[in-house]
Structure 1
Amino acid sequence: MFQEERLISILNYLKSNKRITVDLICELYDVSRDTARRDMVKLEEQGQIIRTRGGAILPTLSKIVGDYDQRLQAEPTSKVTIGRAAAELIQDGDYIMMDASTTVLHAATAMTSRHNVVVTSSIETAAILTRKPNMTIHMIGGVLDNKHHSVYGAKAIEMLSEYHVDKLFIGTCGITAEGLYAPNEEDCYLVRAMIQHADQVIVLADHSKFGRRLFQRVVGFENIDILITDQELSSEIKEKLLACNVELVLAGGENT
């Protein structure tokens, strides 16, 4: 087996078993300890693993978040399904708030309710809503993030203090049993401010977000009311949601 083939196999093993040792690499691939160590050094240089005493684990911290177009193209079918389920929760006349999540964008696209007032930090969501009748849109001011097509900063947070809405729809870059995660402080500050000004907090997250831990923890499950996703969750996360009285909505499936 060539080294590149062996490296792929080692990563696949780690995805299923969480940890691998030098001795096990030698046993699985019939190679010397020096070869096993070179394989781990190569994977570490690529940022694929973290070496531990006598072995290796996968990194637990996700550091890469794509730009808006990349995020929009990721898991498109799941996001459309989740967005439609979220839109069904919006009633005529609701005052709502929407963050710059690409999944929340699909909720805006799927909206059929009328006479809504919408506050958003997303220029893409605002543009979608302009095509819908009887819609009043409040665009939060602040610094425009060209990479994520959204507004952030002190001015945006200050403006949020002027509003209060029935329902808030937010996405997330990662979810573990500890809560929701974002790649930076600015995202955290804005989402936390939004949560303070909504009666009901609804999180939209496709299956790829679960198990991802990023640099910044945004909030725990005690701060949300409904979680909409597209696949069954692990028992650990389901127990955490239940303990915090979070309603779980499986888009296209049964709710708990």
Structure 2
Amino acid sequence: MYQEERMEAILRHLKQHQRMSIQEMCRQFNISRDTARRDTVRLAEQGMVVRTHGGVMLSAVKETLKGYGERLERASTEKRDIAVEAASRIKQDETIMLDASTTVQFTAEQITTFPLTVITNSVENAERLPYQMETDIYLLGGRLHPEHRFLYGPGTLEKLGGYYADRAFIGVIGVCEDGFYYAHEEDAAVKQKMADRAGKVYVLADHTKFYKKHFYRGMELAEADAVITDILPPPEMQKVLQEHGVELITAGQR
């Protein structure tokens, strides 16, 4: 197989699996490690991949974040499975924080544990939480992002600094070896503050979020206690999460 053919095959693999190791290239194409490295160097020089420790991943091209309503429809089955798992972690009389992501919104809809105190910067969460006498909802003030329906800014962060929660549930755009990625720096700051003010931090991320970078890198991996997902990520990512003390929870598998 010529180098150009291998490069095309590597890119096809990456589009499906997000990442490919040197070892996998050697095995799949029956080539030496030196040949595999030369292929990765050439792909990287063309801007098509990013070289990582032991392999490659697709280049981090910033994609346009879809509108809130459209994101609710995308991968909704996976998001709801994760939401059911997340909601099952909530105990009576707890205080929880919910950020402004679509998977966390699904979590809000799945909550059946009461009494409960909920702190959120999401207008959607505040509207969709089950309204019961035993639920106290604190909607954080601040500046409203009109499209994605979250509140942010200095006032939001200051208010959060006065609260403490038993658990925080936080969505992400991407989970990579160097941390969690978000579309908006302002929203990332709120998520960071929630993580700082919670006893246990759950990051909710379906399988499409692994090895996916976006505009802003926020929380470090070690700042999460657990990642709840629908399908286990590749072994390399499992190892990275384990090394940072992050529990990996697969929805529906107990």
> Given the two structures, how large is their TM-score scaled by the length of structure 2?
0.78
The secondary structure found in structure 2 opposite 1:200 is strand
Paired residue for 2:141? 141
Paired letter, 2:70:
Q
Paired letter, 2:151:
V
2:48 and 2:59 in contact (8 A); partners too: no
- Counterpart among 6, 11, 14 of residue 11 in structure 2: 14
Deviation, structure 1 residue 103: 0.4
Structure 2 Cα separation of the partners of residues 55 and 185 of structure 1: 25
Q: How does 1:12-51 map to 2 (within 5 A)?
A: 14-16=11-13
Larger Rg: 1
Paired residue for 2:95? 95
Structure 2 Cα separation of the partners of residues 135 and 55 of structure 1: 51
Deviation, structure 1 residue 131: 2.7
- Provide structure 2 residue ranges, at least 5 long, that are not aligned to the other structure: 1-6, 21-42, 50-57
2:241 and 2:247 in contact (8 A); partners too: yes
Deviation, structure 1 residue 144: 0.7
Deviation, structure 1 residue 196: 1.1
Count of equivalent residues: 215
The secondary structure found in structure 1 opposite 2:238 is helix
2:111 and 2:130 in contact (8 A); partners too: no
Seen in structure 2, the aligned counterparts of structure 1 residues 135 and 64 have a Cα distance that, compared at 3 Å, is same
Deviation, structure 1 residue 199: 0.7
2:229 and 2:249 in contact (8 A); partners too: yes
More divergent stretch after superposition (53-62 vs 117-126): 53-62
Paired letter, 2:149:
H
Q: How does 1:110-129 map to 2 (within 5 A)?
A: 110-129=110-129
1:174 and 1:214 in contact (8 A); partners too: yes
Seen in structure 2, the aligned counterparts of structure 1 residues 138 and 237 have a Cα distance that, compared at 3 Å, is same
The secondary structure found in structure 2 opposite 1:72 is helix
String of CA shifts for 1:38-97, please: whole Å, max 9, x gaps.
Answer: xxxxxxxxxxxxx86578545323332112111111100001100000000001101000
The secondary structure found in structure 2 opposite 1:162 is coil
Paired residue for 1:151? 151
> Structure 1 residue 179 and structure 2 residue 176: aligned?
no
Seen in structure 2, the aligned counterparts of structure 1 residues 55 and 99 have a Cα distance that, compared at 3 Å, is closer
The secondary structure found in structure 1 opposite 2:181 is strand
Seen in structure 2, the aligned counterparts of structure 1 residues 61 and 89 have a Cα distance that, compared at 3 Å, is same
Paired letter, 1:164:
Y
Deviation, structure 1 residue 132: 3.9
The secondary structure found in structure 2 opposite 1:71 is helix
Structure 2 Cα separation of the partners of residues 88 and 12 of structure 1: 42
Paired letter, 1:233:
P
Paired letter, 1:120:
T
Paired residue for 2:206? 206
The root-mean-square deviation of aligned C-alpha atoms, in Å, is 2.3
Seen in structure 2, the aligned counterparts of structure 1 residues 55 and 214 have a Cα distance that, compared at 3 Å, is closer
The secondary structure found in structure 1 opposite 2:60 is coil
Seen in structure 2, the aligned counterparts of structure 1 residues 252 and 131 have a Cα distance that, compared at 3 Å, is same
Seen in structure 2, the aligned counterparts of structure 1 residues 16 and 124 have a Cα distance that, compared at 3 Å, is same
1:61 and 1:215 in contact (8 A); partners too: no
Moved segments of 4+, more than 3 Å:
10-13, 51-59
The secondary structure found in structure 1 opposite 2:203 is strand
Paired letter, 2:12:
K
> Given the two structures, how large is their TM-score scaled by the length of structure 1?
0.78
> Structure 1 residue 237 and structure 2 residue 237: aligned?
yes
